[in-house]
Amino acid sequence: MEVRELKTLEEMIPHLAVLQELYPNLHTESYRIMLEQMLPNNYAQVGIFIEDKCVAISGYWLGTKLWCGPYLELDNVIVCEEARGTGAGKLIQQYLEEKAQKLNCSIMVLDAYSNNFKAHRFYYNQGYAPRGFHFIKILDEGGLT
């Protein structure tokens, strides 16, 4: 397995099929528009490749907040069905943790759906723990992917 940083639109778009495992209604044009908005705001992706095929992907954000200083946020960690159990998710986590340490981040954060118990178990095993609630107020149901 090979880890690759994806930092440009041209590097990200070809791997849309991996994201469609979680977001089947995400299409190329809307993905392109979102990436054009996200990339200038410290967004990038990491992909896991087996023989040049992307089998797992995670977006990540770099930022700074008053309460924690520099942080790295994992965004949509997705492992293709056929690659689950291969260690691809753990490899993404390890790679991004090393990146966060090199960038002097104080913490790593992520969101997982409250009913995604497999993800909860995985993240607990990687050293994450819930420290609060992530509250949302939906303003436009149609805008959700």
Mean pLDDT per 10-residue run, the chain (145 residues)? 97 97 94 97 97 96 95 94 93 96 95 83 85 84 77
Instruction: For residue 39, count CB atoms less than 10 angstroms from its CB and return exposed for 0-12, middle for 13-18, buried for 19 or more.
Output: middle
Look at residues 59, 86, 61 and name the one whose alpha carbon lies nearest to residue 71: 61
> CA 145, CA 132: separation in Å to the nearest integer?
24
Per the CB < 8 A criterion, the answer to whether 107 and 68 are in contact is yes
What H or E segment, with its residue span, contains residue 74? Answer: strand 69-79
pLDDT of residue 145: 64
All structural domains of the chain, each given as residue ranges with its CATH number in brackets, are: 2-143 (3.40.630.30)
Tally Cβ neighbours within 10 Å of residue 59: 19
